[in-house]
Structure 1
Amino acid sequence: MAEEKRRFKIQIGNKTYTIVGAASAAHMQAVSRVVNDQLTQIKAAGNLSTETAATLLAINTASKQLKLQAQVDALTAQLKELKSEVQ
């Protein structure tokens, strides 16, 4: 059964975006809060345009995602190994 998609309006910086997805409203509010917080921190670090700050935020996010995926992969391999030892 496919997940029902909903529309969410979120404010990032001074712009409103409509997001379509299966996430909950609480999740999208949390995403909006995290993005705004990180965007504010990046812009405060220097005299950056919103475009440059957004690009740096995207790079930071992709880097974190890759690190987390590596952790998930390592834990999945470890779990597979432990399961085979138990059997």
Structure 2
Amino acid sequence: MEQKDGRIRTVVKIGNQTYTVVGKEPSDHVLEASGLVDDKIKELKNKNPYLTTTQLAVLAALNISNEYVALMHRIEEEKKEED
């Protein structure tokens, strides 16, 4: 976890692979986000042990995107109710 040129390097482990993430977000943010992805991949692998790493990654991305979209819709609905 080093800073270089204003960028923060964070080493994470997702699906038994190690990645170095470089960005502006603090390391704790990157670790939390990568932990969610890793948890989703593990969940999917437990349910579908025959899936390839690529299939697991795509399904994890789709599941997380679905959760994000649902949350955004809920926030929009709450804002409409406040108005």
TM-score (norm 2): 0.77
Name the structure 2 match of 1:67.
70
Aligned pairs for 1:1-87 within 5 A: 5-46=7-48, 47-79=50-82, 81=83
Identify unmatched segments of 5+ residues in structure 1.
Answer: 82-87
- Number of residues of Structure 1 aligned to a counterpart in Structure 2: 77
- Where in structure 2 are there 5+ consecutive unaligned residues? 1-5
Q: Deviations over 1:24-50 (max 9, x none)?
A: 222222222221111111011121111
TM-score by length of 1: 0.74
Which protein is richer in helix relative to its size? 1
Per residue, is there more strand in 1 or in 2?
2
Regions of 4+ moved over 4 Å:
none
Q: 8 Å contact 2:12–2:19 — kept in the other structure?
A: yes
Contact 2:9 2:27 in 1 (8 A): no
> Secondary structure, in 3 states, of the residue corresponding to 1:33?
helix
Superposition CA RMSD, Å: 1.6
- Identical residues among aligned pairs (%): 27
- Whose relative contact order is higher, 1 or 2, with alpha carbons under 8 Å and at least 6 apart? 2
Letter matched to residue 59 of structure 1: L
Please state how far the C-alpha of 1:21 moved relative to its aligned partner.
Answer: 2.7
Please tell me whether Structure 1 or Structure 2 has the larger radius of gyration of its CA atoms. Answer: 1
The question of whether the paired residues in 2 share the 8 Å contact of 1:43 and 1:50 is answered with no
